[in-house]
Amino acid sequence: MKAGDIHNADGVVQEVPGFYGSVKIEEKVIQKIWKEQDFLAESLFTECGKKIVVIDCGSWNLAEEGPDFTGAVLMIDGVQHHGDVEIHFYPNQWCQHKHHLDPNFEKVLLQVSVFSGNGISESVHTKNGKPIPTLVLLPHLFQALEEYAEHYALAKLSGRLTDLDQFIAKLGSLTSVEVDQLALKRWYAKIQFARNRLENQHWSDVCHQWFLEILGYKRNKSSMLRIAQMYPLCFWVEQRVDPLEIFSSINNWRLKGCRPMNHPRARLLQYAELCSVNPNWTDDMMDLVGSIMQAKGMVGVERKTITNLVKKWKDAVLCGKFAPGKANTIWIDGMLPLLSAYSCTDAFEVWKHWPTGDFPQSWRSIFRETGWTDRSKGKVLSNGMVQSLIQFLMEEKDQPSLEK
């Protein structure tokens, strides 16, 4: 481990570059990305130019010694190989961790790193001198590292916590200004995500892709993105797609534990209905800019103004095709940041006061116990509070630990 790495209850944590500064990422987050193949896997090439096709990512080695994944099956330049895979943040950590001297790493076929070596070439080889190619994962990720870190933090807080009282005490000690600052960081990150997406793509294409990604939730986001890329918005508007056929054409859906209403087949049918009844939904979103400008000019943003905006989004744009919780999630996680970035409109106050989208219901008691919400004092749960909690989780060095 090098300077800048941190240990916590789950292993190594490293501060890595993010859109709005450094972000703490646990090594297990990167390992989980590899395990779930949560990245674009169609055109993978190592730093030395070898083409990689992942047939089997291997078994996750949760022991302290040895490679991170064992028994992987990879096609390397068209030749099938069986062996192990090691995961790092940077390529030079292979030597820093002395894997080149460790016989346990003789079967490694591939080193997967998040970042490149920044032009600094360092020999990566096993103890017997076998060269190990390096695959840099960052260009192939579906989302920014902050988003992966967010999902991992959410998963931790959704489990049984051993030190919940201490965690709630920390949250309760935050001032209202500090809570707003946490939400503002989340907003800036989402705006940057939106700008990156808009950089090389048309407005309607980005709306279409991001909308379907959100409908896929975490477990099926990658499959939904592939569908969005294979079948552009015009296909859906012109009704040249059969959602059931599209669903059947994808064989890597993750359906275990999926509730019927969140099943990707059901979500694809919903999206097809939206495109049928409102083929101009991406353009109709632009009509909301004026209402957003009016709302942000008000001191504190009146609840009535937000209520009117919510109604326009759900009824005028989505035509009532999505339940309130999912409609809010689509808006606050994707469409409002996208609209704000595209129109150069600062919609933070609207985003902060917007009703909450999907989040674990167990969080409601956390908000009450911290004093963030109290109806008797007019403190109503909002999206800004949920986003502040997520940001706090991502920044907290000593996150709540899970009971084993």
Contact 182, 391 (CB under 8 A): yes
Q: Which amino acid is at 90?
A: Y
* pLDDT per residue rounded down to tens, the chain (404 residues): 333 343 343 456 666 555 445 566 777 888 988 998 888 777 899 989 999 999 999 999 987 689 999 999 999 999 999 999 999 988 989 999 999 999 999 999 999 998 887 644 457 899 999 999 999 998 888 777 777 777 666 666 555 455 678 888 888 999 999 999 999 998 998 898 888 889 888 999 999 999 999 999 878 888 898 899 899 999 999 989 999 999 999 887 888 888 888 899 999 999 999 999 999 999 999 999 888 877 665 545 667 788 889 999 999 999 999 999 999 999 999 999 999 999 998 899 999 999 999 887 778 888 999 999 988 888 889 999 999 988 888 776 555 443 32
Amino acid (1-letter code) at residue 1: M
Name the residue among 206, 173, 225 with its Cα closest to residue 372.
173
Coil vs helix vs strand at 9: coil
- DSSP assignment of 12-40 equals EEEEEEETTEEEEEEHHHHHHHHHTT-B-
Q: Which candidate, 395, 377, 345, places its Cα nearest to that of 176? A: 377
Q: How many CB atoms lie within 10 A of CB 175?
A: 8
Q: Which residues lie below 8 Å from residue 282, measured CB to CB, with a gap of 6+?
A: 203, 204, 207, 208, 233
